[in-house]
Amino acid sequence: MDLTKKEPRRPRWHFGPRWAELCVVGVATVATGFITGRVSDNGSQADAPQPTATITVQATQTVTATPDPSTAPEDTDQPLTQDAQPGDSSSARPARVYLADLDAVDYRGDYEKAPVVMSGKPYPRSIRLGCETNGEDSITYNTSGYERLRATLGIPSDTDNAIGSVAQIKVFGAGGEQLGKAVEFRSSHTAGLDVDVSGQDQIMVSCALLKSGDPDRISTRSGLGDAVLTS
């Protein structure tokens, strides 16, 4: 038996004293655990479900758009409107209108819108109409929508050939028919005219001289004092 003391054999990968090797092994173990933990932590974070935030927006404001009149489409269905004209049968009419405020459709002979004084009484909104022996002096008005024509008839005090003259007023409908009775008057006496003109689009008022105060004269003038159409 070989009792010779032998030195223990050191491992092939010997780097230094034993305590140094232990330190290296410990540091490596700690580092490996740290790295492994970081990787596991990151993986768990990647795999974990992400929270979802739900945001609800509720509209609480109402906006009303005002159309621009300049861009609005033109309404072609609306009827055209016109200003009412006196004597126009297609326009809206007042319930009462003086003949002196109307334009005559037609007239023959002597005709004028002017105030008159008859039997001492003034009539500021009146018509003067000539009266001749041939009875051709006349005036025509639109009367659609009206029912009656009223006036005070006489011979104005400032008219030539007034004294002793007698005249007569007649009213005719659109078809030429006489409406109501003829009304006579003279310088010293006035008479009332009240004629039904309902249903007539136009009427014609004519005056004739029945008796001349001057034998050498064939005409005078009548006054339709404050002549008015009423509905």
Under 8 Å CB-to-CB from 193, ≥6 apart: which residues?
A: 149, 150, 151, 152, 153, 169, 171, 183, 224, 227
Where does the pLDDT of residue 5 fall: very low under 50, low under 70, confident under 90, or very high at 90 and above?
A: very low
What digits encode the pLDDT tens for the residues 134-164?
999 999 999 999 999 999 999 999 999 999 9
- Domain range for residue 184? 96-230
**CATH number assigned to the domain comprising residue 142:** 2.60.120.1060
**Residue with the two structure tokens 């009792």:** 3
Structure tokens at 16: 């230094």
Is 124 inside a domain boundary?
yes
In a domain, 111, yes or no: yes
Q: Which residues pair with 154 in a beta bridge?
A: 223
Phi-psi region of 109 (alpha: psi -120 to 50; beta: other; left: phi over 0): left
In the chain, the percentage of residues whose pLDDT exceeds 70 is 61
- Min mean pLDDT across 68-82, 87-101, 133-147 is at 68-82
Average pLDDT, the chain: 77
Domain assignment of residue 170, yes or no: yes
Is position 7 within any domain? no
Reply yes or no on whether the pLDDT at 122 is more than 60.
Answer: yes
Closest among 220, 3, 189, 204 to 108, alpha carbons compared: 204
Residue 22, domain member (yes or no): no
Q: pTM higher than 0.75 for the full model?
A: no
pLDDT at 41: 46
Asked if residue 21 belongs to a domain, the reply is no
Any domain includes 153: yes
**pLDDT score recorded for residue 187:** 87
DSSP string of the chain? ------PPPPPTT--S-HHHHHHHHHHHHHHHHHHHHHHHHHHHHHHSPPP------------PPPPPGGGSPP-TTSPP-----TT-TTS---SEEEGGGS--SEEESSEEE--EEETTEEESS-EEEEEETT--EEEEEE-TT--EEEEEEE--TTSTT-TT-EEEEEEE-TTSPBPS--EEEETTB-EEEEEE-TT-SEEEEEEEEEE-SSTT--EEEEEEEEEEEE-
Please check whether residue 175 lies inside any domain of the structure. yes
Q: Could you read off the pLDDT of 14-32 as tens digits, one per residue?
A: 445 554 555 555 555 545 5
Tally the domains of the chain. Answer: 1
